[in-house]
Amino acid sequence: MIIRKLSIGQLGDGAYGIRFRDGLVNSKLESDASMSGMMVAIDIVIIRVGNAVIALEHDGHVDEFDPTLTETAARLAVARLREAAQGG
């Protein structure tokens, strides 16, 4: 099992990400994985915009998981939170 900080960049008024991987077999998702069995990937991002907070969770299995979509979804969430904060 691997749990580490997920580098998510500058999002909203504050953001923190966690990356969880388990059961990796020679996967390109994590270079230091030496595990066997089924692979599960989960990215969790907590984002604050003004007084609102959102928890974004992106998960999947080895053949279905695209880690680049986590940041794309997080940026979209920030845009929607800002829009909602402005009454839109």
The model's pLDDT over 6-28, given as tens digits with 9 standing for 90+, comes to 998 899 999 999 999 887 556 55
Statement: residue 33 has pLDDT above 70: no
Distance CA 3, CA 86 (A): 36
Distance CA 42, CA 13 (A): 23
Residue 70's pLDDT band, with cuts at 50, 70 and 90, is: very high
Per-residue model confidence (pLDDT) at position 37: 56
Cβ–Cβ under 8 Å, residues 41 and 29: yes
Per the DSSP assignment, residues forming a β-bridge with 44 are: 18, 57
